[in-house]
Amino acid sequence: MEYHNYFAYKQCSRDIQASQRRTKRCLWRTSRLRGKVGADGSKPFTERIGLKARQDKSLSRTRPPDRQTIIRDQSGTSAIEFAIVAPVFILLVFGMIAYGIYFGALHSVQQMAADAARTAIAGLDENERKTLAQRYIDLNADGYVFIDRKKLVVEVKDSDKDSEQFVVSLRYDASQLPIWNLLPMLPLPEKTISRSSTIRVGGI
């Protein structure tokens, strides 16, 4: 082989080997990209799989549930039970509060009548006993629970059946109490509270 042909052959051989190495490197990179990129090269393969799974999941959610699934499903039972029980419970709570206020006013009227009758014992005659009882109510009525003096009617006199008995009668307009704001179907008491107290003239 001539001298110049030998060097030309060596250069051609080197170029072929370099081309083969570039081809192998390109194939290796292509194989790696195929693992990450879809067949069309638009999106990574794993992202396309995740998108497909989300699409399948959304389609499965839009399917109407069958009857057996609805019957066995117990989600939301607490909310339904609360919606059924809550109105009754709230009505009971407010009912107890309203009736408690009414009974408090009733007890105050009864206690006031008894206190006024005991105060009137010191009177020597009917007129003096009336004055003492009336004065006690005028001075102390506002100190009793749930009582407004302006809505209180006082009647003080000796008993018609027994002259030795002294009677203090009170009538109170309880229409402003919150009990009347409840359902009208409930059994409600009278709006006027009437109470009286009798005591023996001259003491026991």
Domain that holds residue 113: 77-200
Q: Is residue 24 part of a domain?
A: no
Q: Who's near 133: CB < 8 A, 6+ residues apart?
A: 116, 117, 119, 120, 154, 156, 168
Q: Who's near 35: CB < 8 A, 6+ residues apart?
A: 45
The average confidence (pLDDT) of the chain is 76
Q: Is residue 163 part of a domain?
A: yes
Q: With contact defined as beta carbons under 8 Å apart, do 152 and 170 qualify?
A: yes
Global pTM reads: 0.57
Q: Rounded to an integer, what distance in angstroms lies between the CA atom of residue 90 and that of residue 88?
A: 6
User: Quick one: the chain helix, strand, coil %, rounded to 5?
Assistant: 65, 15, 25
Q: Is residue 6 part of a domain?
A: no
Pairing outcome for strands 152-158 and 165-173: antiparallel
Per residue in 104-163, pLDDT (tens digit) is: 999 999 999 999 998 888 888 888 888 999 899 999 988 898 898 889 999 988 888 887
Q: Is 73 helix (H, G, I), strand (E, B) or coil?
A: coil
Q: Is residue 149 part of a domain?
A: yes
Q: Number of folded domains in the chain?
A: 1
Q: Is residue 16 part of a domain?
A: no
State phi, psi for 41 to the nearest 5 degrees.
Answer: 75, 15
Q: Is residue 70 part of a domain?
A: no
- Which region among 36-45, 131-140, 182-191 has the lowest average model confidence (pLDDT)? 36-45
Q: Is residue 21 part of a domain?
A: no
Q: Does residue 1 register a pLDDT over 60?
A: no
Q: Is residue 17 part of a domain?
A: no
